[in-house]
Amino acid sequence: MQQTCLNCGMSFNEDMRYCPKCDNSLDLQHDGSTITVDIAHQGERVNEALAKMQSEINLARKGVSKRIRLVVGSGLIRDEVMLVLRDLEFRGDIIDFEAEPFNAGAVLVRLK
Query: What are the tens digits of pLDDT across the range 29-65?
Result: 788 889 999 999 999 999 999 999 999 999 888 888 8
pLDDT of residue 95: 94
Does the pLDDT at position 98 exceed 90? yes
Report the CATH architecture of 31-110.
2-Layer Sandwich (3.30)
pLDDT of residue 1: 63
Mean pLDDT value of segment 20-32: 81
pLDDT of residue 28: 79
Query: What are the tens digits of pLDDT across the range 78-91?
Result: 999 999 999 999 99
- How would DSSP label each residue in the chain? -EEE-TTT--EEETT-SB-TTT--BGGG---S-EEEEE-SSSS--HHHHHHHHHHHHHHHHHSS-SEEEEE--SSHHHHHHHHHHHHHHHHTSSSEEEEETTEEEEEEEE--
Give residue limits of the domains in the chain: 1-29, 31-110
Query: What are the tens digits of pLDDT across the range 62-71?
Result: 888 899 999 9
| This prediction's pTM | 0.81
